Structure 1
Amino acid sequence: GNDCCPSNFSETPVILTEPYFNFCSIQEAMAEIFFEEYECQSLLRIPAGDLSEYHYRSENRSTQCCLIIDCGYSFTHIAPYIRGKKQKNAIKRIEVGGKLLTNHLKEIISYRQLHVMEETYVMNQVKEDTCFVSMDVMADMAKCKKKYPENDIVRDYILPDFTNLRRGYVHTFDKPPVVEQQKLRMNNERFSVPEVIFHPSDIGINQMGLSEAVRLSIQQCPEDARSELYKNIVVTGGSALFPGFKERLYKDVRADAPDEFDVNITLPENPVTYAWKGGKLISKDPEFYTFVVTKEEYEEEGPNICMERFDS
């Protein structure tokens, strides 16, 4: 409550994000918490992808369609929107998110070098600081078998000791070696971990990769919208920050897409806060109060009004 958010909830509308196809029991519990515990003035429950689409459409007024790729913490969603309406039958979900990538990196490093299974926070930083998306996995794999300087991928990651060093950092081999600090050697792990988003089968997840999911999602949309969808692919979420992510996605989608369609991928300046900024914009929309459920409506009609009003 007031400890972490010093606001008067009874005078404040709240925008609450949720996954696509959320369970009804969870939706009811969320409405109950916000209206009965926090007594908030009004509530808008909406998927983050809807906010990203609103943000993109507000900046590209002439655009009728877009495809939102949300690389989240627990999974990756691919959702097409036509004239502001999401095409529910064409939404795809890949069970790969930032959490799985961090856990996969922990397992690899624990098996090969140092036991880090309890160091989720540090290993998440290692992932963010060192990993990248490869444009040619086999060529990079061959390079990783060589020694520096022929191998320009290998790095040392200096681990924090939380006394003198609060956050780890990448150490390249052209600098003097660091002796006193504990370190990890990052070689093919740097690109094999993010590769799971593009090929989940690499670690035994029997699902399609990202570019295939994009193609299938667009294929399940009306024919006259497909060209526009390929031209307006928007990537959001933390995993989109991997260096090379946008370029690799373009390469793979371009290879899968019909030749007559142009492919364009937009990576926002900050893909992590893109949906949040969409929420900020929607809160200033003149029609905002037609989207929300007020406390009075909730008290009169109960949880059913939320089910009817919100399209998740």
Structure 2
Amino acid sequence: MATLVLDNGANTAKIGYSQERVSVIPNCQFRSKTSRLKTFTANQLDEIKDPSGLFYILPFQKGYLVNWDVQRKVWDHLFGKEKFKVDFADTSIIITEPYFNFSTIQESMNEILFEEYQFQSALRTNPGSLSAHHYFHTRPSELCCLVVDSGFSFTHIAPYCRSRAMKEGIRRINVGGKLLTNHLKEIISYRQLHVMDETHVINQVKEDVCYVSQQFYKDMEIAQMKGEENTVMKDYVLPDFSTIKKGFCKPQEEMLFSGKYKTGEQILRLANERFAVPEMLFHPSDIGLQEMGLPEAIADSVQALPQEMQPHFYQNIVLTGGNTLFPGFRQRLEAELRSLVPAHLPVSVLLPDSPITYSWEGGKLLSNHPDYDEMLVTREEYEENGHFICEEKFDI
């Protein structure tokens, strides 16, 4: 029987059969300024000629799946694609959901998977569990790990021991990629250009130019310097979607006031925004969120766990989610944790090669686990016992 692994994130869905490669596809619908009447779903985004003023219709709000109409359309599109062509009666699905999900959302998901799509069997879990499974698979001698999952809506810290989540240690920071992009839109709109409608473009700017500062105040000083001394400043050429399809950074030598700019290029000049935006992950109070930053939240999470296990968690921190791809993220987190953790305890932070698909890969490994069949709920079991059997088996 085929196993389909679907890491159903609030921004992207990571999907693929367990014996194939993963595809990362937008988990939303779009409408564009130019074709208002037409709605594009998931990877149909590539068909939009002019994605300026792109309007997103998201199934998730504040990290929870609330718009089932949009989610169904995305799933219909994915499951019907040539590449996946799901034969539901002969397919098992591993699907992810947020930590501490609402039971009403869980029941709706059970109904859709079993009654509408009629999957043969299903396993509902959270991305952290799959990431932990992946980590323990690659390091079989380890018993504990701490998954830091910094995604679109939130950043979660979840400790695992022998693949079981230790719920007393789970922490959430209400900062994710969506908030960072929105903050960057506000800063640019205030300082330079009105870009409040350009979520798609500014998200690309964020991914291309932002980084995590190792010495915030020093970088702030550099960002205020004039001319060539200002190594922080970058000029970003915005796309016009006719000649320039995708925005890009100007090379340093072209940038420095050489007057070499082509007419018609629309330039964003970015200085301290480059590191002040990702800084919110470390200091949410910068924008008035009364919350701990990431290093403090990790220390708080570990301190809630049994003392004899704490050294093992500090030594096995694994980063997942798109925000961990900011240059300097891992180094800064490790350095700040080092200053918070007792000197005799080792601190080790691992950034996998692909933090976005890390939990999907964990699902792929899980589908080959000898106990996999016992974790599933089959359609017959669901028809016989209803939601009760899912609650019992999917203890998350």
1:186 equivalenced with 2:270 (yes/no): yes
In structure 1, what is the Cα distance between the partners aligned to 2:330 and 2:390?
37
In structure 1, what is the Cα distance between the partners aligned to 2:262 and 2:101?
48
Q: Contact between 1:148 and 1:154, CA under 8 Å: does it hold in 2?
A: no
Q: Contact between 2:80 and 2:86, CA under 8 Å: does it hold in 1?
A: no
Q: Show the counterpart of 1:14.
A: 93
Output aligned runs, 1:35-184, within 5 Å. Answer: 35-175=114-254, 176-184=260-268
* Aligned equivalent of 2:385, options 276, 283, 301: 301
Partner SS state of residue 133, structure 1: coil
Q: Show the counterpart of 1:310.
A: 394
**Number of equivalenced pairs:** 312
In structure 1, what is the Cα distance between the partners aligned to 2:184 and 2:102?
30
Q: Show the counterpart of 1:3.
A: 80
Matched to 1:15, the amino acid is I
Output aligned runs, 1:127-276, within 5 Å. Answer: 127-175=206-254, 176-276=260-360
Query: Deviation per CA, 1:253-286, whole angstroms, max 9, x where unpaired?
Result: 0000011100000000010000010011101112
Query: Deviation per CA, 1:67-101, whole angstroms, max 9, x where unpaired?
Result: 00000110000011112211101100000000110
Q: Contact between 2:324 and 2:355, CA under 8 Å: does it hold in 1?
A: yes
Q: Which runs of 5+ in 2 are unaligned?
A: 1-75, 255-259
Partner SS state of residue 103, structure 1: helix
Matched to 1:60, the amino acid is R
Matched to 1:233, the amino acid is I
Query: Deviation per CA, 1:177-226, whole angstroms, max 9, x where unpaired?
Result: 34321111110000000000000000001100000000000001111111
Matched to 2:368, the amino acid is K
Matched to 2:385, the amino acid is E
In structure 1, what is the Cα distance between the partners aligned to 2:186 and 2:278?
14
Matched to 1:216, the amino acid is D
Percent of aligned pairs sharing the same letter = 52
Partner SS state of residue 174, structure 1: helix
- Greater shift, 82-91 or 35-44, is seen at 82-91
Partner SS state of residue 125, structure 2: strand
Runs of 4 or more, structure 1, over 2 Å off, are: 1-5, 176-180
Q: Show the counterpart of 1:291.
A: 375
Please report the TM-score for the alignment, with normalisation by the length of structure 2: 0.78
Partner SS state of residue 229, structure 1: helix
CA apart distance, 1:165: 1.4
| Higher relative contact order structure (alpha carbons within 8 Å, sequence separation ≥ 6) | 1
In structure 2, what is the Cα distance between the partners aligned to 1:178 and 1:250?
42
Matched to 2:336, the amino acid is D
In structure 2, what is the Cα distance between the partners aligned to 1:118 and 1:265?
37
Q: Which runs of 5+ in 1 are unaligned?
A: none
Matched to 1:81, the amino acid is Y
Matched to 1:169, the amino acid is F
Matched to 1:131, the amino acid is C
Q: Contact between 1:227 and 1:262, CA under 8 Å: does it hold in 2?
A: yes
Partner SS state of residue 242, structure 2: coil
Q: Contact between 2:125 and 2:394, CA under 8 Å: does it hold in 1?
A: yes
Matched to 1:195, the amino acid is E
Q: Show the counterpart of 2:49.
A: none
In structure 1, what is the Cα distance between the partners aligned to 2:205 and 2:274?
9
Partner SS state of residue 122, structure 1: helix
Matched to 1:79, the amino acid is A
Q: RMSD value over aligned CA atoms?
A: 0.9
Q: Show the counterpart of 2:108.
A: 29
